[in-house]
Amino acid sequence: MAMLATTFVACTKNDDSNVVDLGLPSGIKWAKTNVGAANPWDCGDYYAWGETQAKTDYDWNTYKYGNSDKLTKYCNNADSGNDGFTDALVTLESADDVATVLGADYSMPTIADWEELCSQCYWVWTSKYEGQDISGYIVYKAKSDADKGVIVNAEGTPSKSYSLSDAHIFLPLVGSRFNSSLPKEGLSGIYWSSSLNEKSPNCARYCYFDSGSVRPHPSWYYDRCNGFPVRPVCRP
């Protein structure tokens, strides 16, 4: 199934129509939708790490920067580089960051950004967001220090003090793509970060969540050729 990129209207850090201020210490704001999505509950497009075009087949044979042991960019290990190639790049450059489609102030979140979102916000699982038949997490701006880092999964009971009128973003479970399949749609949320896995540069960091947990830990990584959705951030 072909995935066609959506055209975004470029915006700036002072334009709040596309982003939400969740009161994070870093001052970054999170986009309301995935890249390529028209609504917060839509999956948007899937991207291999460091690629800016959606495609129909996601594997090392179609990857822009070589394969697992012949990388041509973002490689700090000669054993993984093409003919021993290495560079010092461990974070996506803007030219390889599809989130910049929103404007120069936008980027893919780093793994540290994902960790901050997890530790500073109040996460609530839902199986129907805005009446749509899609599961995921509503990530609220925390109303108290006690609420920061709280994950209310499918087995929990959320605080009645939070509602969709409060500042929040929604992260839908839209799965991932490998080859031409979509094996985890509706079962998991897997979102890229812009951070390379420095010990194994054929992989990059990501945030994973499902009905039971949220895991943005930097030790988690996936092959760069996989297709994951991207949720942009806007930096102050």
Mean pLDDT, the chain, rounded, equals: 89
Q: What are phi and psi of 184, to 5 degrees?
A: -120, 25
Beta-bridge partner residues of 57: none
Give the model's confidence band at 44: pLDDT under 50 very low, under 70 low, under 90 confident, else very high.
very high
3-class SS letters over 20-74? ECCCCCCCCEEECCCCCCCCCCCCCCCECCCCCCCCCCECHHHCCCCCCCCECCC
Q: What are phi and psi of 139, to 5 degrees?
A: -105, 105
Q: How many CA atoms lie within 13 A of 235 on its CB side?
A: 10
Residue 9 has pLDDT above 70, yes or no: no
Q: Please give the single-letter amino acid code of residue 41.
A: W
Q: Which two tokens stand for residue 116?
A: 């901050």
Residue 219 has pLDDT above 70, yes or no: no
* Confidence (pLDDT) at 5: 40
* Least confidently predicted of 13-17, 71-75, 216-220: 13-17
Beta-bridge partner residues of 204: 196, 222
Q: Where are the alpha helices (DSSP H) in 13-171?
A: 111-120
Give the model's confidence band at 218: pLDDT under 50 very low, under 70 low, under 90 confident, else very high.
low
Give me the residue spans of the domains in the chain. 1-119+171-236
Residue 230 has pLDDT above 70, yes or no: yes
Please write the tens of the pLDDT for every residue from 80-98. Answer: 999 999 998 999 999 999 9
* Confidence (pLDDT) at 16: 67
Give the model's confidence band at 186: pLDDT under 50 very low, under 70 low, under 90 confident, else very high.
low
